[in-house]
Amino acid sequence: MTITYKDEAGIAGMRVACRLASEVLDHLTPHIKPGITTREIDRLAAECMKAQGSISATLGYQPAGYPPYPASLCTSVNHVVCHGIPNDKPLKKGDIVNVDVTVIKDGWYGDTSRMFIVGEASIAAKRLCALTYEAMWHGIVQVKPGARLGDVGWAIQKFAESNGFSVVREFCGHGIGQVFHEEPQVLHYGKPGTGEELKPGMTFTIEPMINTGRREVRELGDGWTIVTKDHSLSAQWEHTVLVTPTGYEVLTLSAGSPPPPAFVKAEPALA
């Protein structure tokens, strides 16, 4: 496994790219309400990136075996797990939507996503979004030198499953830097004390996909969109994280980022 460890210059570049990615979501937040289409969300994001001097990492992105991705971000609505392609269908009251943004600035990648509740949603939908956010943070607070990736995955899995949810297995977090997806893979399930050891200078995403129903997923015919097999609701949150000498730094924070859950403030990793 070849992991790239970022030096001070690389960390500085990552901080900028990651903040800009989060600021795209800040820009979109007031617009995400009933009646807007996901294609319009995509257009607004592209405008914001242009103003920032960043570019979308997803537009035209084409891993082996995939068609080129056709949009500047991903919009995954309700039972869509990830990689939803923006379209002309208006969002309606009660929908939940994940907006996933990756930008490139000066060769560095910043990757983050948030859940948005459109208008007023059901108690079940709001609970899923809130607890998925907490699940991500349960993983983040495990990050420190000497910990292992299995610790991160187990913390997310234990929290999600204890609340009656399931964790998608087919998609995971990933290393990121001057490449969109690099080593290591960051699973959102696992066993404590297993997996790659965390060391200062590592940067990777933590982005659990949590379902109200079963964990099985399937791919739609467009070659990108992933949905729950049982049509149950799915939620996802994502931050890009740096391993520091004493713990972690969340790089994808901006003025409009939701605050961490209350339990995070007591974590020694933040000291």
The chain-wide mean pLDDT, for the chain, equals 96
Residue 237, pLDDT > 70, answer yes
Report the domain count for the chain. Answer: 1
Task: Determine which helix (DSSP H) or strand (DSSP E) holds 210, and give its type and residue range.
Answer: strand 209-211
Q: Which tokens go with 266? A: 């007591």
The DSSP string of 80-106 is EEE-PPP-SPBP-TT-EEEEEEEEEET
Q: What is the pLDDT of residue 265?
A: 74
Residue 35, pLDDT > 70, answer yes
User: Which of 180, 193, 242, 185 lies closest to 5 in space, CA to CA?
Assistant: 242
Residue 271, pLDDT > 50, answer no
Mean pLDDT of 122-144: 98
CATH of the domain at 129: 3.90.230.10
Asked, for residue 134, whether it belongs to a domain, the answer is yes
Query: Which of the four pLDDT bands, split at 50, 70 and 90, describes residue 1?
Result: low
Asked, for residue 76, whether it belongs to a domain, the answer is yes
pLDDT tens profile 180-190: 999 999 999 99
Asked, for residue 1, whether it belongs to a domain, the answer is no
Asked, for residue 67, whether it belongs to a domain, the answer is yes
Mean pLDDT of 85-89: 98
Which domain does 116 fall in, by range? 8-270
Mean pLDDT of 89-95: 98
Q: What is the share, in percent, of the chain residues with pLDDT greater than 90? A: 97
Q: What is the pLDDT of residue 174?
A: 98
Query: Which of the four pLDDT bands, split at 50, 70 and 90, describes residue 191?
Result: very high
Q: What is the pLDDT of residue 269?
A: 43
Residue 266, pLDDT > 80, answer no
Query: Which of the four pLDDT bands, split at 50, 70 and 90, describes residue 268?
Result: very low
- Residue 254: is it exposed, middle or buried by C-beta count within 10 angstroms (0-12/13-18/19+)? middle
Contact by Cβ (8 Å): 178, 109: yes
Residue 270, pLDDT > 70, answer no
Asked, for residue 2, whether it belongs to a domain, the answer is no
Identify the bridge partners of residue 80 per DSSP, sorted by sequence position: 227
